[in-house]
Amino acid sequence: MTFEQGVFYFLAGITVFSAVMMLLQRNPVNSALYLILNFFCLGGLYLTLNAQFIALVHILVYAGAIMVLFLFVIMLLNLGDDKRLIEHLGLRMYLGIAFSVGLLLELLYVFGVGTPTAYTQLSPASAEMGTVEYIGTVLFTKFLFPFEITSFLLLAAIIGAVLLAKKKLVQ
């Protein structure tokens, strides 16, 4: 096992642990903190796969901006009464447990029986494919038209949100 594989498996273990702990927490703030740990570990996993840009954007957007928003909403709602959050065992819970066990068995089969093939190996060009320069070059050459359409749609959404907010302020 190489050093990179060791780091990958270590981060994958912490990712699975933090995801399970996030689901098992009764306190929503603790659950959100485990989700932040999960996002940081996922960023580390992206780094081990030579996707530097994706890792940086993932940490900045999800662990930074989105989680601050989640924590703000949790604090704003003031979910102090844990009795209302308890869900009784029903059909959904049993289906969720069954699907989780099925997924676990599938993962054990893939990692225990499966052998590495040419498709599971990283491309030799993967180190340069994850850089900002490569993504920028592809984005502004091959995908320029979809990028411009997306920016136009975002601009229209911003203008619409400002007009709706302005209309509410006037009334």
Domains and CATH numbers, the chain: 3-125 (1.20.120.1200)
Other CB atoms within a 10 A radius of the CB of residue 49 amount to 15
- Of residues 146 and 83, the one with the higher pLDDT is 146
Q: Is there a contact between 45 and 104 (Cβ–Cβ < 8 Å)?
A: no
pLDDT on residue 86 = 56
User: Rounded to an integer, what distance in angstroms lies between the CA atom of residue 70 and that of residue 52?
Assistant: 25
| Spacing of C-alpha 43 from chain mean position | 9
Instruction: Kindly state the average pLDDT of the residues 51-78.
Output: 81
pLDDT on residue 122 = 66
Q: How confident is the model at residue 80 (pLDDT cuts 50, 70, 90)?
A: low
pLDDT on residue 95 = 85
pLDDT on residue 149 = 93
User: Rounded to an integer, what distance in angstroms lies between the CA atom of residue 125 and that of residue 128?
Assistant: 6
The whole-model pTM stands at 0.58
Q: Is there a contact between 131 and 53 (Cβ–Cβ < 8 Å)?
A: yes
For the cut 80, the answer to whether the pLDDT of residue 76 exceeds it is no
Contacts 24+ apart (CB under 8 A), 119-126: 122/49, 122/50, 126/49, 126/50
- Of residues 108 and 83, the one with the higher pLDDT is 108
